[in-house]
Amino acid sequence: MTSPTTKLVQSGIAWDPAYGAIVPPLYMSSTYVWPSVDEKGPYDYGRSNNPNRDLLSRALTELDGGAGAVVTSSGMAAIDLVLNLLSAGAHVVAPHDCYGGTHRLLTARHDQGQIRVDFIDQGDLDAVRATVSRETAMVIIETPSNPLMRLSDVAAICDIARAADALSVVDNTFLSPLRQQPLTLGADMALQSTTKYLNGHSDVVGGVVVANTEELAEKLAWWANAAGLTGSPFDSYQTLRGLRTLALRINAAETNAKAIVAVLRDHDKVTDVYYPDAGLAVKQQSGPGAMLSFRVAGGAAAAASVMESIELFRLAASLGGVESLICQPATMTHRGMAPEARAAAGLDETLIRVSTGIEAKEDLIAALEAALASI
């Protein structure tokens, strides 16, 4: 069987039916000529379908081992798309420490009465069993969590959902399909913010939902067209281009992350390091990935000193690009959370999150060591 690395490099290569271009051309057209009034061609209108979006969708379907996929205009549009499968008042179970934008959307839909959401600690399978019932329509899973890299058991939670006839969907953005395969673990759907690792160059906002059956993929495509959630041709073009180097990028970024974690775990100014490289991670991931977080000794002032003095790592939210980024979740990505909720989640100001890029590891380690020495 051809390796995923090879398939990714080859995705869309030499597809061009018109001129045999090695790289697929970009089709920006919003509409297409009909051969006759009662017969349309393979493409008719850009919201419904587009060659560049189809190429990306096929590559992502294969990468996740699914039956079909829908490419959306953002990761949040991917989450909104799966919510469209639900009837009014449906019961949804989600992790209490899910991505902030997901938490905001689910909470707003709950407050409107469109769905009924329970946010729970999915690291506790008894809590999952106690919350998921015959009334439950969907279980949303996200592992590792942001920013503390807490893990939840995808196979076990999907089993609980299936026994209750609920759909299971995994937000796999932090690892990418090259490090975790939600559909193989039993999920009905796997989604990604392609903004992160899949595009990988911090120049596209996009998303995808991959489904494990054609029936589900067709329902998703119907809703994406009806609600206008599909991604743009140019974003699909860029993301397919990014995808060709996904394996190289993830390998390089993960190697750097492992080296950084080894330094941080031994550092006397660092009190805790969070990196998913043991326990459940070994069971359900094929590697720890390139996201990590840590706490510094010396309180908020110490963390501020690291954030202000660090070179090379750019102070920014987001993740999964070739460039290394650093952020302080309490004041940046999780600022919108109520202070009590933030404290309960363990997100104090000493916590620092890193998205490791693919720069030379000795440069990254030197920059981190210098910043820690500034404390």
Nearer to ligand PLP, 101 or 186 (CB): 101
Active-site position among 7, 43, 47, 277: 47
CA angle 95, 344, 325 (to 5 degrees): 70
DSSP assigned state of 73: S
User: Least distance from C-beta 104 to ligand PLP, angstroms?
Assistant: 11
Amino acid symbol at 266:
D
Q: Is-catalytic flag, 269?
A: no
User: Least distance from C-beta 362 to ligand PLP, angstroms?
Assistant: 28
CA angle 223, 320, 79 (to 5 degrees): 20
Q: Which residue in the shown chain puts its C-beta closest to ligand PLP?
A: 75
H or E stretch covering 372: helix 361-373
CA torsion through residues 132, 136, 142, 143, sign: positive
Active-site position among 109, 150, 196, 249: 196
What ranges in 199-350 are assigned the alpha helix state H?
Answer: 214-227, 233-243, 246-265, 280-284, 299-309, 339-344
Q: Is-catalytic flag, 196?
A: yes
Nearer to ligand PLP, 11 or 102 (CB): 102
User: Least distance from C-beta 100 to ligand PLP, angstroms?
Assistant: 9
Do 121 and 96 form a contact (C-beta atoms < 8 A)?
A: yes
User: Least distance from C-beta 225 to ligand PLP, angstroms?
Assistant: 19
DSSP assigned state of 329: T
Q: Is-catalytic flag, 99?
A: yes
Nearer to ligand PLP, 146 or 236 (CB): 146
Number of Cβ within a 10 Å radius of residue 227: 13
Rg of the chain on CA atoms, in Å: 21
Active-site position among 64, 97, 99, 258: 99
Contact residues for ligand PLP, defined by CB under 6 A: 74-76, 99, 101-102, 142, 146, 171, 173-174, 193, 195-196, 205, 207
Dmax (CA) of the chain: 74
Tokens linked to 298: 């010396």
Give the residues across from 131 on adjacent strands: none
User: Least distance from C-beta 102 to ligand PLP, angstroms?
Assistant: 6
Active-site position among 64, 80, 97, 171: 171
Nearer to ligand PLP, 208 or 270 (CB): 208
List residues with catalytic annotation. 47, 99, 171, 196
